[in-house]
Structure 1
Amino acid sequence: MSRRLDQLLANLGYCSRREARAWIDDGRVEVAGRVADDPGEKTAPGLVRVDGEPLDRPDGLLLLLHKPTGLVCSHDGREGPSVYGLLPPRWQRRNPPVTTIGRLDKDTSGLLLLTDRSELVHRLTSPKHKVPKIYRATLDADLPPGLGELFAGGTLVLRGETEPCAPADLRVLGPREAELTLTEGRYHQVRRMFASQGCEVLTLHRVRFGPLELGALAPGAWRELPLDTFG
Structure 2
Amino acid sequence: MKPARTEKLVKVIANLGYGSRKDVTAMFRAGLITDANGEVLYADDRVAPADVRVDGAPLDSPQGIVLMLHKPVGYTCSTRDPGRVVYDLLPPRFRLRQPTLSPVGRLDRDTSGLLLMTDDGALLHRIISPKSNLPKTYEATLAQPLRGDEAEVFASGTLMLESETTPLLPATLEVVSPTVARLILTEGRYHQVRRMFAAVGNHVEALHRVSVGELDLDGLPAGQWRVLAAAQIEQLI
Distance 1:118 1:76 in 2: 20
Distance 1:101 1:133 in 2: 12
Question: Would the aligned equivalents of 2:110 and 2:206 in 1 still touch at CA under 8 Å?
Answer: yes
Distance 1:18 1:124 in 2: 36
**What displacement does 1:214 show?**
1.9
1:226 to 225, 229, 237: 229
Identity, in percent, stands at 50
C-alpha offsets along residues 168-220 of structure 1, whole Å, 9 cap, x if unaligned? 00111222221110011110000000101110111111111111122322211
Where structure 2 has 5 or more consecutive residues not aligned to the other structure, the ranges are: none
Question: Would the aligned equivalents of 2:31 and 2:40 in 1 still touch at CA under 8 Å?
Answer: no
Distance 2:173 2:130 in 1: 19
**1:69 paired to 2:73:** yes
**1:10 paired to 2:14:** yes
**1:20 paired to 2:43:** no
For the aligned residues, what is the CA RMSD? Answer: 2.7
Q: State TM-score, norm by structure 2.
A: 0.84
Distance 2:111 2:31 in 1: 47
1:99 to 82, 98, 102: 102
Q: State TM-score, norm by structure 1.
A: 0.86
1:212 to 215, 218, 222: 215
Residues 30-69 of structure 1: matches in 2 within 5 Å?
35-37=41-43, 45-46=49-50, 48=52, 50=54, 54-69=58-73
Question: Would the aligned equivalents of 2:137 and 2:212 in 1 still touch at CA under 8 Å?
Answer: yes
Secondary structure at the aligned position of 1:229 is classed as helix
Question: Would the aligned equivalents of 2:161 and 2:196 in 1 still touch at CA under 8 Å?
Answer: yes
**What displacement does 1:6 show?**
3.0
Aligned residues: 228
Where structure 1 has 5 or more consecutive residues not aligned to the other structure, the ranges are: none
Question: Would the aligned equivalents of 1:61 and 1:227 in 2 still touch at CA under 8 Å?
Answer: no
Match of 1:191 in 2: 194
Match of 1:160 in 2: 163
**What displacement does 1:34 show?**
8.8
**1:126 paired to 2:129:** yes
